[in-house]
């Protein structure tokens, strides 16, 4: 098989790229290791920046999003048993975010691609890429028990953190930057209406907690837990009691979450990671394949979308005009924005979580920083601008 752009991975990055290329008249094939049901039920984050929403609409995947997505004009920060609202439109000149689960984005993109796009193969596991720095790289993959090859003009690795595409950049040409955190998140999905209108991010002496939502009847909740935690050690009652304790404020001591059946519990590690450059020869990396952020800033999906928006435009210009200028600047263009998001995600994470080794002095510094956000329009605007998303590179 031959295609213009071979896309490895059918997560949000690979699927959105395939749609944007389709609309620009550029051919592609998506190879996804897992089956469709697995990809569609994988629980991930759920905050979309305006630019991500716009790209999904442009890709033709805006219909259900516009019906079911919930526009959020702010978040609530809780710390020192007090509560403070960050008003996004007031602080950013009108910007807001949308709450719409990544799993739903993926379902919408898969349905579109299967109905009117290029090939999307499930159960197609890529094992390697040959000839990255030649004019026609070859993707090797296994499909239905057979070894196959896909010859491409360009290959894009959208295969996430555990993918194989990163290895196409020779170790001598690539630099990795990484930080791991001394805590994880226990994430639960509950059939319980959120009693809060907006997301609540809580710093507490018991550790971080986050209240998010999936719909008016489903809550998505997170608790900071030690690395290596077994979700089986957390009974439903323990989860709810701990959430209530971490969200407690003096002004409203009776504030309690509404409880309901917990339908899933999982533990997520926290990591920051960047691989540079995001390109070698005719192989490009996009999304989690190139960079990971801890989820506290809600940036993972949005960074993945930004990468493929830049790349789709560059590949379209290449096809239309023959110019490779935008492809040549892809890695530098994306990395500048990636590092901004890395900084913000790390800032949110280290400001809101309690490192088990941190001193009382460091806790005071966190509270002083949060107090600054609550009392200075400049500090609040800095948070709001980053959270709602910085402009896409032109
Ligand atoms: N061959 C084919 N597909 C592969 C291979 C392989 N060797 N390795 C991994 N994949 C697939 C995975 O099964 C997954 O469906 O690549 C896809 C990568 O998807 P994601 O991990 O969702 O990464 P990405 O599309 O970059 O989206 C980033 O996902 O992890 C979150 O927080 C992150 O929200 C962000 C988003
Ligand atoms: C989510 O809804 O899953 C979510 C929201 C905000 C975050 C992380 C996750 O920062």
Question: Is the CB of 45 within 6 Å of ligand 2?
Answer: yes
CA distance 349 to 391: 22
* pLDDT at residue 299 is higher than 90: yes
Find out whether 375 and 84 touch, Cβ atoms under 8 Å.
Answer: no
Average pLDDT, the chain: 97
Q: Which of 6, 13, 26 is nearest to 318 (CA)?
A: 26
Mutational test site, ligand 2, from 42, 46, 48, 348, max ligand atoms within 8 Å of CB: 46
pLDDT at residue number 334: 97
Mutational test site, ligand 1, from 7, 9, 148, max ligand atoms within 8 Å of CB: 9
- pTM of the model as a whole: 0.97
Find out whether 308 and 259 touch, Cβ atoms under 8 Å.
Answer: no
Instruction: Compute the average pLDDT of residues 314-338.
Output: 98
Instruction: Compute the average pLDDT of residues 331-346.
Output: 97
pLDDT at residue number 61: 95
The domain at 2-71+99-179+271-353 falls in which architecture?
Answer: 3-Layer(bba) Sandwich (3.50)
Structure tokens that stand for 58 in this block: 């442009």
What CA–CA distances, in Å, run from 33 to 9, 52, 130, 144, 213?
A: 7, 25, 18, 11, 29
pLDDT at residue number 40: 95
């Amino acid at each position: 098989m031959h295609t213009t752009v071979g896309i490895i991975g059918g997560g949000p990055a690979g699927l959105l790229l395939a749609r944007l290329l389709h609309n620009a008249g550029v051919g592609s094939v998506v190879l996804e290791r897992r089956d469709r049901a697995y990809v569609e039920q994988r629980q991930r984050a759920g905050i979309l920046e305006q630019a991500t929403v716009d790209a999904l609409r442009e890709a033709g995947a805006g219909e259900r999003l516009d019906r079911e997505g919930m526009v959020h004009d702010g978040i609530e920060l809780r710390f020192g048993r007090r509560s403070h609202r960050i008003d996004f439109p007031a602080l950013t000149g009108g910007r807001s975010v949308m709450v719409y689960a990544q799993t739903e984005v993926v379902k919408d993109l898969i349905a579109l691609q299967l109905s009117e796009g290029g090939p999307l193969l499930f159960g197609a596991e890529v094992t390697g890429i040959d000839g990255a720095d030649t004019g026609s790289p070859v993707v090797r993959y296994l499909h239905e028990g057979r070894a196959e090859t896909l010859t491409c003009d360009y290959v894009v690795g959208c295969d996430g953190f555990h993918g194989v595409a990163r290895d196409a950049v020779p170790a001598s040409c690539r630099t990795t930057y990484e930080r791991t955190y001394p805590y994880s998140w226990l994430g639960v999905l509950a059939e319980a209406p959120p009693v809060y209108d907006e997301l609540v991010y809580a710093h507490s002496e018991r550790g971080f907690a986050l209240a998010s939502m999936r719909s008016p009847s489903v809550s998505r909740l997170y608790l900071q837990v030690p690395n290596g935690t077994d979700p089986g050690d957390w009974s439903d009652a323990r989860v709810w009691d701990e959430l209530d304790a971490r969200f407690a404020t003096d002004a409203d001591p009776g504030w309690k979450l509404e409880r309901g059946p917990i339908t899933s519990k999982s533990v997520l590690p926290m990591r920051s990671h960047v691989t540079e450059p995001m390109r070698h020869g005719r192989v490009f990396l996009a999304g989690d394949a190139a960079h990971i952020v801890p989820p506290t800033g809600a940036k993972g999906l949005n960074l993945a979308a930004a990468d493929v928006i830049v790349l789709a435009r560059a590949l379209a210009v290449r096809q239309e005009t023959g110019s490779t200028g935008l492809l040549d600047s892809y890695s530098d263009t994306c990395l500048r924005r990636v590092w901004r998001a890395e900084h913000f995600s790390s800032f949110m994470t280290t400001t809101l979580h309690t490192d088990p080794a941190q001193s009382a002095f460091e806790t005071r510094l966190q509270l002083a920083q949060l107090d600054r956000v609550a009392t200075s329009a400049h500090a609040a605007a800095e948070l709001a601008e980053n959270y709602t998303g910085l402009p896409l590179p032109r």
